[in-house]
Amino acid sequence: MKHNLNTLSKVLEVVVPGDILSTNVDALRVELFELLERADIDRANWRVLRLDLAEAQMVDSMGLNLIVALVRMLQTRGARLEVRVLNLNIQRTFMFTRLDKQLDLVTA
């Protein structure tokens, strides 16, 4: 997955290619957490993780669980999670599950 670290704004942006579903969530989790644990990324002391889900058409409960895991991990780190979602259905799902209260939901 593509990522970009802005050391000035302290934002780490990660672009997720496509959906987050039960069938690919394990692989995504490994890739994402390996990235976050990389020494150079860790040293940068980023404060915001911006997860770009613009390409996603569906996120199921396992996908939401991954996002919840990210929320928790960032809370211990003192960082924020920002999630960019363009698909209206996924936006609605975040709101139904009140996940939008636990992170910054960007819809544009």
Partner 1 sequence: MKNGPPLSRDGARILVVDDDPSSLIFLEGVLVGRGGLVVTAQSVDLACAILEREGVEHFGAIITDCLMPVKTGIDLLRWVGERDPSLATVIITAGTERQIAAESLRGGACDFLEKPVGAAVLGEAVQRAITLTAERRQARATQAAVKDVGAYQHQRLIANAGGADAWPLEVCFHPRCEAGGDFLNHFRVGRDCAAYLLTDVSGHDLKSAFLSAYFQGVVRGMMERQSNMPEIFDHFNRFLLSEWQDDAARVGASVAACSVVTDRAADVFEVVSCGSPLPVLTDAAGDVEIVGRADGYPLGWFPENPVSAVRGALPWGGSLLLWTDGVEALADEEQVPTVALATALLLARRGRRATPDLSKASDDLLLVRLVFPRRGAAPGNHFFPLLIEEHAGDRHRLIDQLQKNWERSIDYCLPTLNGATRYAIMLSLREAVLNGLVHGCQGRADRALQVRASYDPDAELVRIVVTDPGTGHDFDLLRHEETLAQSPVAVHRGLLLIKQLCDRLITERGGARLIMEFSLNRSWQ
* CA 85 vs CA 7, 56, 82, 101: distances in Å: 24, 8, 10, 15
Q: Which is nearer to partner 1, 9 or 89 (CB)?
A: 89
Q: Dihedral (C-alpha) 74, 50, 84, 3: value to the nearest 10 degrees?
A: -130
> Per CB under 8 A, which region of 2-10, 34-42, 44-52, 98-106 contacts partner 1?
98-106
Write the interaction track for partner 1 spanning residues 28-67; mark x where CB under 8 A is met and - where it is not.
------------------------------x-xxx-xx--
CB of 40 to partner 1, least distance (A): 29
Q: CA 81 to CA 11: how far, in whole Å? A: 10
Count of CB atoms within 10 A of residue 95's CB?
Answer: 12
Q: Which is nearer to partner 1, 63 or 84 (CB)?
A: 63
What is the CA 71 to chain-centroid distance, rounded? 8
Which residues of this chain interact with partner 1, rule CB under 8 A? 21-23, 58, 60-62, 64-65, 68-69, 71-72, 88-89, 92-93, 96-99, 102
